Structures are given as structure tokens and as C-alpha cells.
């Protein structure tokens, strides 16, 4: 016949904490020989046993004392498991039943059963480059006499999938309407045969945040429009103007125009532009062209910088027409931070998509042990987890105190553009 499902009675969700517990140190000498951590773990498990026994006593009364008013009684013990240092370890747990046969939950036991701790441990270790095969090598030594469970490759992988799925869901659901974002940076990272386009926002007080990501076979216009549309639907406001720093891909530029319209002021990434220009040149020409580009972009006057770049394009025309064409494409948009008359500190930060690139390094480092990418969802999960891990180390941008100047410049730029759009309509 079918086994009757055990009914459980929950007494208290908070862990039961007795005022004091007794620990027999003599019994823990074996653990002490294996180091302080192993001793601490052994003491901790002893404390947990005392906590469970104290909770049982509080529910059913002391052993050997008759109590006609008791509502529950002891019901032996069975082996249970608690989460410790990224693995599960066995522990004997006492059982309690009510008079009508319901199992009573012990909050002191359940508090240490939470698999979220296990899932988080798997996430943190694997994002720091530990493979599923070597997972157990990265666990803290807690004593040789303590058997470990849930450290197998399949178990670790299952917990990691759960953690990264949660990270992805949280990232894709982040509401954006409560913040004022002055800057939106867009760039793509290639993972196996997939491209993930990532959006990073900079708030009006200089904080960087990962806003969203979208996966596709390439960095095409459809993928880029889908990402931007998702950001707008989640509350991204551009009514006061926004600076959009992009890697130079035509698909991204088109998507920004289609979704954000005239409110978006575009800055082409100077690092990507230089890389694209130099790719059209032989080795002997790259050094002096690179120097000329940097000199132009270091100018403090927009017209002087524009003249210098235009002159360089003319110089390249005869011998290197491909490089000249690459430079002319979007040339003025590489100078947007100058045209907005931003101070030097902000220009250095906003001239490129480097803030996203640094986050991409965390993704690459975290996923270097992945030998086989099964699908786009796996790519998204790893990328989201790596980006959120990188986000923990984000600091305010340099020059954040001068961001009101950017806000004013964007408002000035957006106002005539919006007025023109209304007249055209």
C-alpha cells in the first residue's frame, strides 16, 4: 500500500536558542588535532544537538517527569542532514509527535537545513573558477570523521543551475523606474556560438548597475531592439535625455535610434573605434595612426578634435582607404563627450564601454571551466551570474560629483531634438 505521508506540525519558524549549552571538550580532542576549523565545526554540531534537545524539552518537558498536560511526546531519533560549508553532513535528530500523531517540526534543526546556503556556496565557488569535478577540493576542512553529502558533480551542478537561474530571473525583473539613469552603456560578449548584448546603467549619483542582457546568434538589430524595449518596459526613463555609449556596432546604433529616439545622445566607444581602424592597417602603420587618434581624442575643444580626425582620414585615403572609411563612419559620435563640454574626469569614464568590458572579464574567468555549452539559456545563466558577481565590486565612477553637468547638457540636447520631432509630426 501507499506510504502515508507524514504530517508535520510547525511550532516556531525561528531557531530555538537555549540560554546556555554544555559542550564536552574531551570528546572533541580528535577534531582538535585536525585544526581549529575542524574543532569549531565539531563544537558547532555539538551545540546544534544541545539546541535540538533543549527545544524538545521545551515542547514535551524534561525526561522522566510525568506531565498530564503535555501535548506532545518524544518519538525516538533518526538520521538527518544539515548544511555546513558547502556540503551536507549527517546528524542524529530527535523526533517529537503530538498526541494525534502529527510530527512536530524542530526549528533548531530546520534552520540549518536551508538548501539556499548550499546553492549559494556552489555559486560562489564556481564563479571563482572551481569546476564541478574539483568542487570538494575547495571545501573548508571540517574533519576527516565527518562524511560529506551533496558534493558530487551532479549535485553541485544542480545547485549551481538553481542559483544561476535565480540570478538571471532577478536581473531580468529588476524595476528601473525608481532610478534616474544618465548613462546607458551597451556592449556585446561572445560566448561559444552565442552573443549576449549587455546593458549597464550609471545613475545620477554615479553608481553603476547591470540593467539587462539579451542573447542571440549575433549582435543584430533584432536582439538589440529587444533588449532596449525590455529596459523601457521595465521603467527606464529617457525623457530628460540619456547618454548612450555603444561599441560601434551598426545594429546597436539602429536599435538606439528606433527605440529611444531623439532623447538618446550617442557616444561611440573610442576604444572600439581605434581597434576597428587599426584592423585595416599593416603593422608598420598602426603605431603612428594610434598616436594620432589618441591625440585627437585628448583635445579639449570639439572643433579641433574633429578637424584632427578629418585630417587623419584624408591622410589615410590613398594608401589605406579601408581605414579611412572606418574612421569616418560615426566619427563625430566619437566626440560626443567633447561636444557636451564635459569635464575631463567624466570624458575619460564615458569615452568608452570599458566599465562593461571589465565586468565581461569576470564572466570569462567564471566560465573558463565550461567545456560544453548546451544552449542559449545556459549562456544567459552563466553571463548573468558573472555580471552580478562583478557588480558586487562596482564603485562610483570617477567624476561623479560633476554628473549634474552631464544632466544639464543632456537636457539642453534633448529639448530641441524633441521640439523638432513634434514639429515634424
- Within 13 Å and on the Cβ side, how many CA atoms surround 337? 26
Which sequence spans correspond to the domains of the chain?
Answer: 8-156, 176-424
Please tell me the predicted confidence (pLDDT) of residue 106: 86
Please tell me the predicted confidence (pLDDT) of residue 368: 74
* Beta strands across the sheet bearing 181-191: 208-216, 194-203, 181-191, 242-246, 264-268
- Considering Cα of 388, then 390, then 393, then 399, what sign does the dihedral take? negative
Query: Residues 91, 81: contact at Cβ < 8 Å?
Result: yes
What is the C-alpha separation between 200 and 187, in angstroms, rounded? 9
| Residue among 393, 392, 373, 369 nearest 381 (CA) | 373
Please tell me the predicted confidence (pLDDT) of residue 425: 41
| Residue among 50, 30, 48 nearest 143 (CA) | 30
Please tell me the predicted confidence (pLDDT) of residue 3: 46
Please tell me the predicted confidence (pLDDT) of residue 345: 96
Please tell me the predicted confidence (pLDDT) of residue 15: 55
7-14 contacts: CB < 8 A, separation 24 or more? 7/101, 7/102, 7/103, 8/102, 8/103, 8/104, 8/105, 9/98, 9/102, 9/103, 9/104, 9/105, 10/104, 10/105, 10/107, 11/59, 11/104, 11/105, 11/106, 11/107, 12/107, 13/107, 14/107, 14/111
What are the per-10-residue average pLDDT scores of the chain (425 residues)?
48 53 50 51 69 85 80 88 66 88 85 58 43 43 46 50 76 93 96 91 97 85 94 95 93 94 96 97 97 97 98 97 97 97 96 94 80 82 86 94 96 66 42
Please tell me the predicted confidence (pLDDT) of residue 226: 94
- Considering Cα of 111, then 115, then 116, then 118, what sign does the dihedral take? positive
What is the C-alpha separation between 290 and 275, in angstroms, rounded? 9
What is the C-alpha separation between 229 and 258, in angstroms, rounded? 10
| Residue among 217, 218, 200 nearest 209 (CA) | 200
Strands 87-98 and 72-84, how do they pair? antiparallel
Please give the grid coordinates belonging to residue 243.
Answer: 547618454
Amino acid at each position: 500500500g501507499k506510504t502515508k505521508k507524514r504530517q508535520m506540525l510547525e511550532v516556531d519558524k525561528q531557531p530555538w536558542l537555549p540560554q546556555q549549552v554544555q559542550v564536552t571538550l574531551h570528546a572533541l580532542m580528535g577534531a582538535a588535532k585536525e585544526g581549529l576549523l575542524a574543532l569549531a565545526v565539531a563544537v558547532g554540531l555539538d551545540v546544534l544537538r544541545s539546541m535540538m534537545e533543549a527545544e524538545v524539552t521545551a515542547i514535551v518537558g524534561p525526561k522522566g517527569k510525568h506531565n498530564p498536560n503535555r501535548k506532545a511526546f518524544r518519538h525516538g531519533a533518526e538520521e538527518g542532514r544539515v548544511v555546513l560549508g558547502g556540503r551536507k553532513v549527517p546528524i542524529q535528530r530527535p523526533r517529537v509527535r503530538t498526541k494525534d500523531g502529527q510530527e512536530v517540526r524542530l526549528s533548531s534543526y530546520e534552520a540549518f537545513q536551508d538548501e539556499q546556503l548550499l546553492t549559494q556556496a556552489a555559486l560562489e565557488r564556481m564563479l571563482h573558477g572551481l569546476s564541478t569535478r574539483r568542487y570538494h577540493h575547495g571545501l573548508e576542512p571540517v574533519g576527516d570523521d565527518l562524511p560529506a553529502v551533496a558534493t558530487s558533480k551532479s549535485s553541485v551542478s544542480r545547485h549551481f543551475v538553481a542559483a544561476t537561474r535565480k540570478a538571471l530571473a532577478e536581473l531580468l525583473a529588476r524595476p528601473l523606474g525608481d532610478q534616474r539613469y544618465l548613462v546607458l552603456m551597451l556592449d556585446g560578449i561572445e560566448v561559444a556560438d552565442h552573443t549576449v548584448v549587455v546593458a549597464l546603467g550609471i545613475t545620477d549619483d554615479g553608481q553603476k548597475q547591470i540593467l539587462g542582457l539579451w542573447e542571440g546568434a549575433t549582435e543584430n538589430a533584432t536582439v538589440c531592439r529587444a533588449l532596449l524595449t525590455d529596459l523601457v518596459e521595465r521603467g527606464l526613463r529617457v525623457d530628460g535625455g540619456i547618454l548612450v555609449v555603444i561599441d560601434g556596432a551598426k545594429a546597436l546604433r539602429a536599435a538606439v535610434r528606433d527605440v529611444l529616439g531623439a532623447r538618446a545622445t550617442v557616444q561611440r566607444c573610442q576604444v572600439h573605434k581605434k581597434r576597428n581602424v587599426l584592423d585595416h592597417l599593416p603593422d608598420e602603420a598602426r603605431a603612428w595612426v594610434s598616436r594620432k587618434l589618441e591625440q585627437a581624442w585628448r583635445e579639449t575643444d570639439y572643433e579641433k578634435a574633429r578637424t584632427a580626425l578629418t585630417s587623419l582620414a584624408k591622410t589615410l585615403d590613398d594608401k589605406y582607404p579601408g581605414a579611412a572609411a572606418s574612421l569616418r563612419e560615426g566619427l563625430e559620435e566619437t566626440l560626443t563627450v567633447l561636444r557636451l563640454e564635459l569635464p575631463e574626469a567624466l570624458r575619460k569614464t564615458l569615452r568608452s564601454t570599458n566599465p562593461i568590458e571589465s565586468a565581461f572579464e569576470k564572466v570569462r574567468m567564471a566560465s573558463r571551466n565550461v567545456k560544453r555549452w548546451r544552449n542559449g539559456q545556459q549562456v544567459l545563466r552563466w553571463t548573468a551570474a558573472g555580471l552580478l558577481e562583478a557588480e558586487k565590486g562596482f564603485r562610483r565612477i570617477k567624476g561623479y560629483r560633476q554628473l549634474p553637468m552631464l544632466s544639464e547638457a543632456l537636457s539642453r540636447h534633448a529639448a530641441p531634438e524633441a521640439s523638432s520631432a513634434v514639429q515634424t509630426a
